[in-house]
Amino acid sequence: MYQLTDLQILLSIISGLLVGFSLGLIGGGGSILAIPLLIYFVGFDHPHMAIGTTALAVGINAYLNLIPHTLKGNVDYRTGAIFTIPGIAGVLLGSELGLLTPGTYLLFFFGFLMIAIAAYMLKRKCVDMSALQRSVTESYPKLVSVGFVVGFASGYFGIGGGFLIVPGLLFGGGLNIIQAVGTSLLSVGTFGVVTAIRYSISGELDLLISGLFIAGGIIGGWVGARLAIRVPKRRLTQIFAVIVIVVAIYIIYQNYTVVLHL
C-alpha cells in the first residue's frame, strides 16, 4: 500500500467531496474527475493504481446510491442484468488492455475521452420529462452491445460510464428516464467493482485512498443533492463540462511529449 502523507489524506477526502458533490449536483459525470484529482491534486503519481483505486470508490458509491433508488422502485434489475452481464466481459477485456498500456499513454487517451464526454454534456439538451415517459421497445441486441462497449471503457479507463449507460437503458431497455438513472447504478457499481478486483490482482489498488474517496463522496453527494433543487441544472452541467475540458487539456499537455517520444 502506498504511504500517504497527512496532507495527501486530507486532499483525498477533499477530492472525494468534489466528486460526490458534482454527482449529487448534476447527476452524473463526476467520476470522470476522480483520476485526475487523485494524480494531479493529491499527488498520487501511479496511473494504473489510480484507475483501480478510483474504480472501487466509484463502484461502491454507485451501489450505495442504488439502495434509495431500489426502495423507490426505480430499478429494473432484469433489464439492468441484461445490460450489465455482457458489460462484465467488456470490463475484463478493457482492464487487461489497460494494465498492458503504459500509464502515460492511458492518461493521454483519457484526456481525449474527457473532452468527448464534456462535448456530449454540452450538446445534450434539457428534455421535457413527460416526453421521456413514453414506452420504448426493448432491444436486447442494443442493450448487449452498448453494455459491452461501456464495460470495456470502464475497465480500460476506470470510469463509471453513466453518461452512456443511461441513454442505452432509455432507448434500448424500454425504461423511462427515472428508471434508467436508477438502473444505471447497478451497471456503474458492477463495472467499478469488477475493474477494481482485476486491478487489485495485479497490485494496482489502494484501499485506504478508496475509503477516503468514498467517505468524502458520501458527504459531497448529500450536499450536492440538496443544492441541486435550488439551481438550474443545465447551467451547472455546462460549467462542469467546461471544467472537464480544461482539465483534459492539462492532462494531454502533461503527457503528450512523452507519448510522442515513445
| pLDDT averaged per 10 residues in sequence order, the chain, 262 residues | 86 90 70 88 91 91 86 90 95 95 91 87 58 56 88 88 78 79 89 94 93 90 76 76 90 82 62
What pLDDT is recorded for position 162? 75
What pLDDT is recorded for position 182? 85
d(CA 208, CA 212): 6
What pLDDT is recorded for position 10? 95
DSSP reduced 3-state for 14: helix
What count of residues does the chain have? Answer: 262
Q: What's the Cα-to-Cα distance from 80 to each of 158, 181, 182, 184, rounded to whole Å?
A: 20, 11, 10, 7
> Interior CA angle at 183 toward 179 and 186, to 5°?
170
What pLDDT is recorded for position 128? 42
d(CA 207, CA 32): 19
- Count of beta carbons in the 10 Å neighbourhood of residue 224: 23
> Burial, 232: exposed, middle or buried (Cβ in 10 Å; 0-12, 13-18, 19+)?
exposed
What pLDDT is recorded for position 21? 83
- This prediction's pTM: 0.84
